[in-house]
Amino acid sequence: MADFTVEDDGASDAFARKATAALDALVAKVNDANNALADRVRGKLSGEVLQVRDGKLLGSVHVIPANVDGDEIAGYVEAGGPEAPYAKVQEYGGRNSYDILPVNKKALAFPGGAYNPETISFSKSAALGQMVVVKKVHHPALAERSFMRAAVDEMRAEIVASLEGLGGRDVNVSVR
């Protein structure tokens, strides 16, 4: 029978410190990637895909810091929520057309060019600023204007490469 022993001399503590440092580095890299992605999403919401109107959707973009849960490190970039509940409709598009009806009056009135309620288009035949009065407006389904998925698609390879370079395996970058 062979018998041997290994004296630790603090080796396990040193290994634990190195493992903790490596994990901390991966968490920091995930946070860096999320911050870069959030900046890219803000760019999409600052004129690349959508124009800023009231700033609510742009202001709703935020990073949820990376968290370690077992063997998974996950961090998130979110936009929308109660501040901008229309974010999903902008991201994925509307499914249905709908009518806009007056609530407190018998008709809708707004300034503009000549408005064609059949096509929701403005023609150049009427003077700009002329009041348009209609009983209803038929609004077509909103086209998709992806800001989150487009940003992820543009940055996916860069994010995956940066995390795999630090030892991250099975790197998954997705939009939910």
What pLDDT, on a 0 to 100 scale, did the predictor assign at position 170?
Answer: 66
Token pair for residue 100?
């806009």
Strand partners, 90: none
Those residues whose C-beta lies under 8 Å from the C-beta of residue 145, and which sit 6 or more positions away, are: 49, 50, 90, 91, 93
The structure's pTM equals 0.73
Strand partners, 112: 130
Token pair for residue 111?
């300034």
Between 133 and 88, whose confidence is greater?
88
- The band of 175, judged by pLDDT with boundaries at 50, 70 and 90, is low
What pLDDT, on a 0 to 100 scale, did the predictor assign at position 16?
Answer: 78
pLDDT at 20 over 90: no
**Backbone φ, ψ for residue 121 (5° rounding):** -135, 155
Mean pLDDT to the nearest integer, 46-61: 94
